[in-house]
Amino acid sequence: MSTTPSVAPVARRVRAYFAPVNRAAGTPTLFDPARLGRFPLQTPPAPWLDLGWIAKFVRKSGTKVDALRAGAPAMAVAQVRTEVDASVALEFETWGKLQSALASGSQQTNLLATAAGAAPNGSGGLAAAPVPLLTGTGPASTASALNVGATAAAAFSPGSLVAVDVDYTGQLGYIGSGISAACVQSAAVVANDINYVRRVTLNVGVVASIANGILSLATPLPAGAPSAGMQVSQLAGFCDREGASFFQEWSALFVLPGTQGDRILYHYPRLQAMQSSAEAAEPLATPLQTIRLAAAFRALPVRDANDGETVLCFRSYLPAPLRDI
């Protein structure tokens, strides 16, 4: 078959996927475009999480190339990279838990339902007692079905937001099942709060329906089936704070699907938040405006196993079928 001249890619928008970085081990999630580059956009390969379409995606290279000069008058005889830097800015189209956590710049807290008489607090007061997951009574809990029993289930309703994670029992360092959500320096700082892991975890879901003591979730929990000891707390929403100390770090993949079957992929194995929580207001019609979560990240380096180069980002292009290259 003959080929057709290739043309500059035309794309409508950019889709974002993020995957956790193992903060304790310092290990990012690497995406292999040679093997997985043409994955269906709606179903990214595990453990990549689909954060949907994004707007105002801007890549910036801060890499500086200087000339080495010699002679009189000085003439450029060679070039050298004196600084390597890259950043990414974007706006999310939705305000989901992951999007708002990523755009918060730091640890984001879940606004756990408070205990009766709890003192007011900016990120939520003392949390109500969590609900245990039943074991040995009825079906085992899964990533999308939580067995709390009929009595406890009466306190939930379709639409309830839930955080599912282990109790805080003095863990230090990175906490949060599946995804590192915060870093604890000392148990005293978090007041040994049994709910602290659930307060920061990204392992959250929405109850879609309730039957026979089972909370069925609209989408599976990011961390998968609950492990032993996990409990459930209800939450009202999410909160982030200007001045908090934690740096979110994620592996990221941005995909521009071309109209001709071609595809551009930008893979940043390590992105750390580089700005605090921010929003972008887009006028809709006076006096309405759309508020989008605005995020900015700085790329951190990884080593390419093929040649040992230390790099910040991988840009891949998958041509359309039967195109000249």
Q: What is the binding site for other proteins (CB under 8 A)? A: 4-8, 10, 12, 259-261, 321-322
For residue 121, the number of C-alpha atoms closer than 13 Å in the C-beta half-sphere is 18
Q: Is 21 exposed, middle or buried (0-12, 13-18, 19+ CB in 10 A)?
A: buried
Which lies closer to other proteins via its Cβ, residue 17 or residue 168? Answer: 17
> Which DSSP category does 144 fall into?
S
CB of 4 to other proteins, least distance (A): 4
Which lies closer to other proteins via its Cβ, residue 255 or residue 273? Answer: 255
CB of 53 to other proteins, least distance (A): 10
CB of 258 to other proteins, least distance (A): 9
Which lies closer to other proteins via its Cβ, residue 44 or residue 226? Answer: 44
Which lies closer to other proteins via its Cβ, residue 41 or residue 183? Answer: 41
Beta bridge mates, 205 = 162
Please choose, from the candidates 60, 57, 80, the residue with its C-alpha nearest in 3D space to the C-alpha of residue 68.
80
Q: What element of type H or E holds 152?
A: helix 150-153
CB of 8 to other proteins, least distance (A): 7
Which lies closer to other proteins via its Cβ, residue 56 or residue 69? Answer: 56
CA 299, CA 86: separation in Å to the nearest integer? 6
Long-range contacts made by residues 273-279, C-beta under 8 angstroms, separation at least 24?
273/102, 273/104, 273/105, 273/106, 273/247, 273/248, 273/249, 273/297, 274/87, 274/105, 274/298, 275/105, 276/104, 276/105, 276/106, 276/242, 276/243, 277/103, 277/104, 277/105, 277/240, 277/242, 278/103
The label of the residue with tokens 């005889």 reads 77
For residue 91, the number of C-alpha atoms closer than 13 Å in the C-beta half-sphere is 13
> Which DSSP category does 213 fall into?
T
CB of 255 to other proteins, least distance (A): 13
Which lies closer to other proteins via its Cβ, residue 6 or residue 123? Answer: 6
Which lies closer to other proteins via its Cβ, residue 8 or residue 34? Answer: 8
